[in-house]
Structure 1
Amino acid sequence: MTDTATQPSRPTDRQDERLRDGAGGVRGALSAAVGRIRGGDLGLLPVIVGLAVIWTIFQILNPFFLSSNNLANLLMQSVPVGILALGIVCVLLVGEIDLSVGSVSGLSAAVVAVTFVNLGWPLPLAILASVASGLAIGAFYGVIYVRLGVPAFVITLAGLLGFLGLQLLTLGKSGTINLPVDSFLVYLGQQAFVPKPLAYVIVSVAAVALFLSNFLKARRRTAAGLSASPLGMNIAASGTLLVVLGFAAWFLNQSRGVGWMFVFFIALVLVMHYALTRTSWGRSMYAVGGNKEAARRSGINVSGVYMSAFMLCSAFAALGGLMAAARLNSAGPQTGTGDVNLNAIAAAVIGGTSLFGGRGSAFAALVGVLVIQSISSGLTLLNLDSSIRFIVTGAVVLIAVALDAVARRSRSSSGRA
């Protein structure tokens, strides 16, 4: 009989120890997932279920909704607001808000239109100036917040009004400025689609990348004596991704296929997911959003984290404005106005990013904007008034926030227990 006192100790890994202990293997991983859900960590599950329900209802009401042509258009339309939502995720993670992303996106579109069309700048330089303007705005917000302690709500509310006025001033008396139809920006927003064979190659690369990422992560955790997902679970996840994305690519290829602009959005989501989950900066974002004082005492540069969050948010807003101009083939007073601002915030919240800080992911922007755009597309196909869309979207946001509040209460109760 082995004396347990002589066994080598290994680091305590209580969060997912069921992956190695108890049931073990795939059953252990499933048990751990169920345990997290019962503990209030719902992740993307509610929004994925909600998206499936929305698609089912609209398909029943209008069989054209899930056609390959409509879905291809839906994905392209979701990109501008989705990129804005990706920036909103950054500020929500640190427990703040940015109410000016719509105005910043409109200003960005105006900058690229004026510099490219009116001033004759090369398109890359015009795009660089547009994104730089977003970064400068974010840095301005960060300095005011960090140095003066003005609440982000007030700063960005002022920015919403101020940068809308600057957008109108930039456009001048001409108002709307049309972008050349033969420019790369317009081509990307309206006509650039992935060649059908290449779409399957991208799908295969994505599945292999997921497998390698999980495999290397499991090896590192095992070498450190921590729990790790079993190989079978990794194979199942990668295989599922291959089948799902492969079917999606095949279905979309029945019409125009997958737009390069949507691929660009997915690339941004993946880069942000890596930065938030695999870097010290990302861990600092979650730490500051969870408990600012504890993060400060642990040595995290809290001011720097806030600065980076505001700068990223405004930079993504600028990119979203570029994509909106590409879709519309123009930049005008209406770019970034209307419900763009609220839809970006709603997408981040619906996707599972907490309004209270410290919880969320880059994928929240993706799934959240798909919900928003699906509601818009479905109601448009049913010829319903825009007032109904506002009511339905508002109800979905309320449900998402209520689920977040219930999940927080459940995690708090289980923590005390």
Structure 2
Amino acid sequence: MQVTETLSEGLKRELKIVVPATELDSRLSARLEEMKGQVQLKGFRPGKVPVAHLRRIYGKSAMAEIVQNVLNETARKTLEERGERAAMQPSFDLPEDEAEAGDVLAGKKDLAYTMTYEVLPKFTLGDFRGIKVDRPVAEVTDEEVDTQVKQLANDSSEFQPKEGAAESGDRLTISYVGKIDGEPFEGGADENGLVQIGTGRFIPGFEDQLIGATVGEERVLNVTFPEEYGAKQLAGKAATFDVVVKEISAPVATTVDDEWAKKFGIESLEKLRETIREQMQGQLGQATRTKVKRQLLDALDERHTFELPPTMVEQEFQNVWNQVTQDLERAGRTFADEDTTEEAAKADYRKIAERRVRLGLVLSEIGEQANIQVTDEEVQRALVERIRQFPGQEKQVYDFYRENPEALASLRAPIFEEKVVDYLLELADVTDKTVTREELMKEDEDDAKA
């Protein structure tokens, strides 16, 4: 095999590789000898098929398989010998001429092709020890737990049909048709809609206009969709709803005690409160983790500047951009609605893609130097959690990950990243800062918008 470098520009590499026809033919002969004892052809006893006959029948298909193996083996061996790590799977430019390709598959001509790839950049890690981090910490108060218990009691209330006019807290079964400028709009109708007055789950003003309604009554409700409403075609627009009240039910007072708690599979009200507190504290802890991680990543980003593999950046950008455009399409919005242009948005998201790739390489290098490992058991747990997200399709999901190494690697990557973050936190200069729940969660909202 002959390897000649034809391009070395930045992180880009191009190699001209020639594999002698004699080597290919040798591999083909060995493969045909293996097949000799496996194939069964009419007129021949098992294991007695002449190799020459096998070559005529299976030669080209076997050689195609050999060529693919040679490409993979040569790529791996060449990178090892050159001491390089490819940023992504190398690409191969094979002979396009049909006659030439046919000669290669027939074992009559050397296999000459071009291998193109980008190498991972070599860089020196900046000083990541002692990064200063302010860790916002919020504690769940008794009042917040009380509010959650009250909300849970309200959500689990039973309702009984009542006579008379609807009041705040009552649940109504209604049929309705929404209209804009007198014309019904898509998704604005329901024959058996449920609405509980006072929950604020419908368009502002919708529930309040049902107070005083009685069974069988028809009402026309006048509302205005919020400016930030998800469906662009409705946002900010005035609408009417033709409503018919079909049933009115009043909530049955809930006694919040140990017996009520047992409805949720918990032995007592005290244990239920503890469970709620733990869940709320877990949410706050996750928000704290997000804030701390963001500070660490910002600090790492500031400390590192190096050339990035263009293909990695482009792939990451496409992933981000596809998500952005899909979200806008689902919401019925445009870039103009976001006070930007497509060109400006692309520039911003490309910077985000570059940051992600850069930080990914930095975290990988830190983890490698610290010998941080992800165990098979950890990946298996992540796979189980993933499978649970697709009830009824467990086997298909399991088979997909088992048969796709790249998909399995996508489960390993976030585990590795979180382990590196934990390692960095052990070395960081962390100062706890007590904040309220509102302050902590507002920061999360601001980050999400950013």
What is the TM-score of this pair, normalised by structure 1? Answer: 0.21
> Which structure is higher in helix share?
1
Q: Max radius of gyration: which structure?
A: 2
> Which structure is higher in strand share?
2
Q: Which has the higher contact order (CA 8 A, sep 6+)?
A: 1
